[in-house]
Amino acid sequence: MMLAIDAGNTRIKWGKREAGAWIDIGSCATGERGSLAKALGSSSFERILVANVAGSAVRSSIEQALGGRGSTPQFLASRAAQCGVRSGYDDPAQLGCDRWAALIGAHRLYPGTCLVVNAGTALTVDALTEEGLFLGGIIVPGIALMRRALDEHTAGLALQPGAVRFFPANTGDAITSGAVHAAAGAIERMASFMRESGHDALRVVLSGGNARELRPLLGLDTLLVEHLVLEGIAAIAEEGD
Contacts of 9 (CB under 8 A, 6+ apart): 30, 53, 54, 120, 121, 122
Q: Which of 90, 91, 98, 173 is catalytic?
A: 98
Q: What are the DSSP calls for 120-172, one per residue?
A: SSEEEEEEE-TTSEEEEEEEEE-HHHHHHHHHHH-SS---------SS--SHH
Q: What is the mean pLDDT of residues 78-97?
A: 97
pLDDT tens by residue, 138-193: 999 999 999 999 999 999 899 999 999 999 999 999 999 999 999 999 999 999 99
Predicted pLDDT at 239: 85
In this chain, the answer to whether the domains covering 2-75 and 81-143+173-229 adopt an identical fold is yes
- β-bridge mates for residue 50, sequence order: 5, 75
- The domains of the chain are located at 2-75, 81-143+173-229
Query: For residue 39, what pLDDT is reported?
Result: 87
* CATH superfamily of the 81-143+173-229 domain: ATPase, nucleotide binding domain (3.30.420.40)
| 203/28 Cα distance (integer angstroms) | 30
Q: What is the pLDDT of residues 215-236, one digit of tens each?
A: 999 999 999 999 999 999 999 9
d(CA 228, CA 220): 19
The answer to whether 98 is a known catalytic residue is: yes
What is the per-residue pLDDT for 69? 87
Q: What confidence tens digit (pLDDT) does each residue in 25-82 have?
A: 999 999 999 899 888 888 899 999 999 999 999 999 999 999 888 889 999 999 999 9
By C-alpha distance, which of 129, 109, 104 is closest to 198? 129
Q: Which CATH superfamily is domain 2-75 in?
A: ATPase, nucleotide binding domain (3.30.420.40)
Instruction: State pLDDT tens for residues 5-23.
Output: 999 999 999 999 999 999 9
116 DSSP β-pair partners: 126, 205
pLDDT at 241: 58
pTM: 0.95
